[in-house]
Structure 1
Amino acid sequence: MTVLRRGGDRNVMVGECKIWGGSVAFGKAIDQLLGNLGAYDTQTVIPLFIREKDPEGMTQRAVDAVKEHPAYSSTGSTHTVNRKYAFVLDHGGRKVTLTLVPFALA
């Protein structure tokens, strides 16, 4: 599910709510999120809902998938609640921040 937060006539944040379905599916979620960005969007978020009994392990697999993405550039914050990652998009070298927010449901 796509989440859009607007401020006036601009997007403040674009997000994709996802349920953990494995590393490949999560990589596709990142592609989907980055593909939904407008020309001026720079802040993104993926609230990730984890149903498995090992949410820390699944979160680490999600972090690994983020770092394996071709557009991944660097890690900002590794705080356990809000993990921030920088991506550089092909068109014009635009920088985008992806915040990963995991939620353990198990």
Structure 2
Amino acid sequence: MMMLEPNFEGSATGETFNKSGKTDILLRYEGSNIFVGECKFWTGQKGLLKTIDQLLGYLTWRDSKAAIIMFVPNKDFSSVIKTAKETIEKHPNFVKYNNKSDVSWANYTFHTIDDKNNEIKVALMLYHTP
């Protein structure tokens, strides 16, 4: 947060209440949320699915961009990347895979919990922390 706040024209806050809980990163610009992020340590498939549920619970109908940032201590990082990409598509709110920005950063489309026609862009970013 110390790097975001002085370099972002809007407001950058952490542990900020949004809809049903406190999200780890919230960027607001001109009174609107433009990004919601949730940070976690990798704990496996169940942990990823639970994190997706948590993130979607924080998003309002107007939110459109979000990210899950996962820190992975596992030695076999390639295996975690593969497992995460297979797991994310099993979530009931998953709509489609969009593209990848990097080997460990993929972009997806989900729908909100209450509205299957309201789509949200969600990035999954995995960072190896040996």
Using the size of structure 2 for normalisation, the TM-score is 0.76
Q: Secondary structure, in 3 states, of the residue corresponding to 2:89? A: helix
TM-superposed CA distance for 1:92, in Å, is 5.2
CA distance in 1, matches of 2:116, 2:71: 32
The structure having more radius of gyration, on CA atoms, is: 2
Moved over 6 A (4+): none
Q: Secondary structure, in 3 states, of the residue corresponding to 1:73? A: strand
Contact between 2:81 and 2:104, CA under 8 Å: does it hold in 1?
A: no
What is residue 97 of structure 1 aligned with on the other side? 121
Report % sequence identity. 28
Contact between 2:105 and 2:125, CA under 8 Å: does it hold in 1?
A: yes
Which structure has more RCO (C-alpha within 8 Å, separation ≥ 6)?
1
Superposed CA offset, 1:45-74 (max 9, x none): 011100000111112111112100001111
Aligned pair count reads 106
> Partner letter of residue 118 of structure 2?
R
CA distance in 1, matches of 2:116, 2:123: 22
Q: Alignment RMSD, CA only?
A: 1.4
Unaligned 5+ residue runs, structure 1? Answer: none
Unaligned 5+ residue runs, structure 2? Answer: 1-22
Using the size of structure 1 for normalisation, the TM-score is 0.92
